[in-house]
Structure 1
Amino acid sequence: MKDQWRLVSGLGNGSGSAISKAVVRQSRQRWVNVADGSRSGLNGHRDPVYSVAFSPNGEYLVSGSLDKSMHIWSLKENKIVKTYTGNGGIFEVCWNKEGDKIAACFANNTVCVLDFKM
């Protein structure tokens, strides 16, 4: 099977139009600004990325990987602003609607909820 990019998350503007999308291929990920077509690489994971999610305000992207780490990226600065390490691969990440908590689901059937403040 060919190593292809796959869409894992998108961010809308409330009127049905996409603003940004996140795509991954193995341990590489990037986000794309749909309005102007610009792309930014987000490198930092050693193993495949299984889940990414945009923060409700669209300023951050969280990613979870089999490398047992969850990175929070500033999309304005295109860099990791926080990293959390767990005890197993991460299969799913999501924000609460206020954007101050992040949940991560691990391969060992545990769920962790983290406070996020910047």
Structure 2
Amino acid sequence: MILFAVAKRGHAIKTGKVLRGAPWQIVIFSLGMYTVVYGLRNAGLTEYLSGVLNVLADKGLWAATLGTGFLTAFLSSIMNNMPTVLVGALSIDGSTATGVIKEAMIYANVIGCDLGP
């Protein structure tokens, strides 16, 4: 909003045209996805997934990486990949994984969600 106010004040950008041409459907869709993710978190999904990720992390780097990737790929096949990335990120954050294993799980989350079936 601050940048928008600065742009409007500078008169270099036609802010009215920007507002009319903005992809509002995408903005509303994104806000809806965030609402779904936090609803799933409140329902206990991320806590459950954190437990699964803890088991995988305890088995080592390869198990954590492949397990996270396959788990998020599966989840993205039954729901949109955008909320799956967010659910995965919250689940990884809630897990006990640290260091290289946690970093590998983060990358596996993004890759699994994007390359999921």
Calculate the TM-score normalised by the size of structure 2: 0.27
Specify which structure has the higher proportion of helix.
2
Bigger RCO (CA 8 Å, 6+ sep):
2
Specify which structure has the higher proportion of strand.
1
Calculate the TM-score normalised by the size of structure 1: 0.27
